[in-house]
């Protein structure tokens, strides 16, 4: 089985997407097909032995739409989309010009009928696609579409007028003014205007992805056969040596092998201060080299780069459907047949009521034209698209529409401690000498023992020693004692570094240090004992500092009436100290990584809707178990795969922003759906004759066409207004 994503232009309503899906699914070899109207893409699973991608393009083009293969460049696709907008604009200008001229042509003579027919035919040619797609969907797919309604409405007015003209030319005594050429012409002109404006506004909804696409350089300077040459980015392969000069964007991901510079990585980390890079440092494609030149070896190219991965995640989110959209999809499936039935009934009812063919036909055409399934089809996907785009522009990846919808319902937020609420980079805060004169000897001895250790406490001790300028020799022997500490030997002397249990095993009494232990642990610090030559040498306290805005984030969540819980594998005293500092009341301490998911389950058993916020690696089971997993990562970590929501910038405030954006997006979706249902609920009965019963005036098909166009545009514009949403913390 093979999957492919095709870009499609020319879709305007939910039935357009349904028709393309239906056409694709009828093709032998196509296993599944889904079409998203908002981002104009088709996601197809097919058997490559039976079909080729070109075959799929032909199927889509036969339904009246233009499709593109994924390997075709964004520039080519963009040019075609721009051409579509220009084409609609030109068609509208020609149509409205002919319609205005038609208004001033008298229908009192034979030549007047002929000229009106000629002008109206010119307008219909401008909207020929409506007829082609509308009747194709009925004949080939057995399903009516929005284009079918337009074709029937405009075509009925045109055909009726043509019959009257024939009667006039054959000498029948027929009222010369009883023709609908100008109605058909203006109707189609307004619909073309609506499609033109809709295309303009829809094009803006994908701005977030386009901005990310534009971050990718078109070329790279590659060293091959000892010669530096400029090559297209698609020709760069893993292992290539690439030269980056000041001010250039880094083309792909890689590792620096020569040179030194500072790189602006704000697109990934959100940090405005450039990051220093030297030999061995990793660089990310799309970031900007600010300082010197350097050479790096490509490690990820094409679709494997970090930037491409982020773009792919955003596209997948925009492709997904929110659960709330099922309502609109269900209604849209029955909408067009229901409108056709209402149109026929209104014609028959008014004709039988003695109002005549002209009156009945006017009501019928008005019903066909005023009905708008487009607004129903666009209500949810446009809001989801803009919402995920706004999130992406703020360094947040929301992986699917269901997560975007669920986040607002969260009532319990569970934070991991290390790397989430805290920086995950402990530092030495206290050195208490016991058996020596000063703290320097304690730190030197501890650093020797920890030099070969990979524990996070070892990193803090080694960092402190390096900052002091100490040269630390290697230990002669090193052994890690799980859960207790390390045992080392240097110049025949034993060094111990660990917790109380390590020293209790060796029968060294540390009880007289207990008050100092408790005091330091109450401050949220991890305390280790340093032993040398079978005596206690001192105590070292290490603390993991809080992240910026941790307190403000917890306060904002509690203000939103969310219960906030801290979960950690650390001891209870340390965990409670951190929780107290940030304002969390509930603490789950000494929880092993594999047991965190069980704690989430317990909360869910109490009917809680739970979000787990973690670093995405050790917390993966809990992230998967939670209703919403929020992974905090730098964007280059494997953590990006684990959560439903990824905070690329490592900014804890984005937890609050994600919930706020979810609530705002759902509010917009409800507004869109409300407007779509209310519009159709009022306009269709009014067009069918309810307005005439109340006011004595029948709704003009021309006004109906304008109202139909405005309904779709209003939904898209309402979704686009989400782009002004800002953080509120």
For 676-706, the three-class secondary structure string (H helix, E strand, C coil) is: HHHHHHHHHHHHHHHHHHHHCCCCCHHHHHH
Instruction: Say how far apart CA 80 and CA 60 lie, in whole Å.
Output: 16
Name residues of the chain where pLDDT drops below 50. 73, 175-177, 635-636, 638-639
Q: Residue 206 has what pLDDT?
A: 57
Q: Residue 566 has what pLDDT?
A: 94
Q: Residue 638 has what pLDDT?
A: 45
The pTM of this model reads 0.69
Per-residue model confidence as pLDDT tens digits over 173-217 = 554 446 778 878 887 887 788 778 767 765 665 555 666 677 778
Q: Residue 48 has what pLDDT?
A: 87
Q: Residue 635 has what pLDDT?
A: 41
Per-residue model confidence as pLDDT tens digits over 33-78 = 888 776 678 888 999 888 888 899 888 888 878 888 765 545 555 6
In the three-class reduction of DSSP (H, G, I as helix; E, B as strand; rest coil), residue 158 is classed as helix
Q: What share of the chain is helix, strand, coil (3-state, %, to 5)?
A: 55, 20, 30
Q: Which of 105, 257, 269, 78 is nearest to 176 (CA)?
A: 105
DSSP state of 627: S
State the catalytic residue, choosing from 147, 253, 416, 644.
416
Q: Residue 653 has what pLDDT?
A: 92
Instruction: Say how far apart CA 311 and CA 299 lie, in whole Å.
Output: 19
Helix (H) or strand (E) holding 622: helix 620-625
Task: Collect all residues with Cβ–Cβ distance below 8 Å to 397 and sequence separation of at least 6.
Answer: 310, 313, 314, 317, 391, 640, 645, 646, 648
Q: Residue 71 has what pLDDT?
A: 53
Q: Residue 546 has what pLDDT?
A: 85
Per-residue model confidence as pLDDT tens digits over 93-133 = 999 999 999 988 887 788 888 999 999 999 999 988 888 87
Helix (H) or strand (E) holding 664: helix 654-685
Neighbour tally for 594: CB within 10 Å: 10
Q: Residue 636 has what pLDDT?
A: 40
Task: Collect all residues with Cβ–Cβ distance below 8 Å to 87 and sequence separation of at least 6.
Answer: none
- Catalytic residue flag (residue 416): yes
Task: Collect all residues with Cβ–Cβ distance below 8 Å to 236 and sequence separation of at least 6.
Answer: 220, 222, 242, 251, 252, 298, 301
């Amino acid at each position: 089985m093979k999957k492919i994503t095709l870009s499609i232009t020319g879709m305007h309503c939910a039935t357009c997407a349904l028709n393309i899906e239906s056409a694709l699914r009828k093709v032998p070899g196509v296993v599944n097909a889904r079409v998203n109207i908002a981002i104009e893409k088709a996601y197809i699973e097919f058997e490559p032995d039976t079909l080729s991608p070109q075959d799929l393009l032909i199927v889509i083009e036969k339904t009246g739409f233009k499709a593109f293969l994924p390997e075709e460049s964004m520039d080519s696709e963009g040019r075609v989309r721009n051409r579509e907008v220009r084409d609609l604009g030109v068609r509208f200008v020609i149509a409205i010009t002919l319609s205005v001229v038609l208004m001033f042509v008298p229908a009192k003579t034979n030549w007047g009928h002929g000229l009106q027919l000629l002008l109206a035919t010119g307008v219909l040619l401008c909207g020929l696609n409506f007829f082609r797609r509308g009747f194709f969907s009925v004949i080939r797919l057995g399903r009516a579409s929005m284009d079918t309604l337009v074709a029937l409405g405009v075509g009925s007015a045109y055909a009726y007028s043509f019959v009257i003209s024939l009667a006039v030319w054959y000498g029948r005594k027929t009222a010369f003014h009883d023709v609908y050429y100008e109605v058909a012409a203006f109707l189609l002109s307004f619909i073309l205007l609506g499609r033109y404006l809709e295309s303009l506004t829809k094009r803006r909804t994908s701005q977030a992805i386009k901005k990310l696409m534009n971050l990718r350089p078109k070329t790279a300077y590659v060293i091959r056969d000892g010669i530096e040459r400029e090559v297209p980015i698609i020709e760069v392969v893993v292992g290539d040596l690439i030269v980056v000069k000041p001010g250039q964007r880094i083309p792909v991901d890689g590792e620096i092998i020569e040179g030194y510079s500072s790189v602006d990585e704000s697109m990934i980390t959100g940090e405005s201060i450039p990051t220093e890079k030297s030999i061995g440092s990793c660089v990310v494609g799309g970031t900007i080299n600010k300082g010197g030149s350097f050479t790096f070896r490509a490690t990820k190219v094409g679709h494997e780069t970090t930037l491409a991965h982020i773009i792919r995640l955003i596209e997948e989110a925009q492709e997904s459907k929110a659960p709330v959209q099922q309502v609109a999809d269900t209604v849209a499936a029955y909408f067009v047949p229901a409108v056709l039935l209402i149109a026929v009934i209104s014609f028959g009812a008014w004709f039988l009521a003695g109002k005549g063919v002209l009156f009945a036909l006017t009501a019928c055409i008005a019903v066909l034209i005023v009905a708008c399934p487009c607004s129903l089809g666009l209500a949810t996907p446009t809001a989801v698209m803009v919402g995920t785009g706004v999130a992406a522009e703020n360094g947040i990846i929301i992986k699917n529409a269901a997560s975007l919808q669920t986040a607002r319902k969260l009532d319990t937020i569970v934070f991991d401690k290390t790397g989430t609420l805290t920086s995950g980079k402990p530092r030495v805060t206290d050195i208490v000498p016991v058996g020596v004169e000063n703290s320097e000897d304690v730190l030197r001895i501890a650093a020797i023992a920890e030099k070969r250790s990979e524990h996070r406490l070892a990193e803090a001790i080694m960092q402190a020693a390096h900052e002091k300028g100490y040269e630390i020799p290697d230990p002669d022997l090193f052994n890690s004692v799980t859960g207790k500490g390390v045992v080392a030997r240097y110049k025949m002397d034993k060094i111990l570094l660990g917790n109380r249990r390590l020293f209790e095993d060796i029968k060294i009494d540390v009880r007289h240090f207990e008050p100092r232990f408790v005091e330091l642990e109450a401050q949220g610090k991890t305390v280790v004992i340093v032993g040398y030559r079978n005596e206690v040498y001192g105590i070292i306290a290490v603390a993991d500092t809080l992240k910026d805005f941790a307190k403000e984030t917890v306060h904002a969540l509690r203000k939103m009436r969310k219960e906030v819980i801290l979960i950690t594998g650390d001891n209870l005293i340390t965990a409670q100290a951190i929780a107290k500092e940030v304002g969390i009341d509930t603490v789950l301490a000494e929880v092993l990584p594999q047991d965190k998911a069980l704690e989430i389950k317990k909360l869910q058993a109490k009917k809680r809707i739970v979000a787990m916020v973690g670093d995405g690696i050790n917390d993966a089971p809990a992230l998967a178990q939670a209703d919403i997993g929020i992974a905090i990562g730098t964007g280059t970590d494997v953590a990006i795969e684990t959560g439903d929501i990824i905070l690329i910038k490592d900014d804890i405030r984005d937890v609050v922003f994600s919930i706020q954006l979810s609530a705002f997006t759902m509010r917009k979706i409800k507004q869109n759906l409300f407007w779509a249902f209310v519009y159709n609920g009022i306009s269709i009965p009014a067009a069918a004759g309810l307005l005439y019963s109340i006011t004595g005036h029948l709704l003009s098909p021309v006004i109906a066409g304008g109202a139909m166009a405005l309904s779709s545009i209003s939904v898209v514009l309402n979704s686009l207004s989400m782009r002004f949403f800002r953080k509120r913390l």
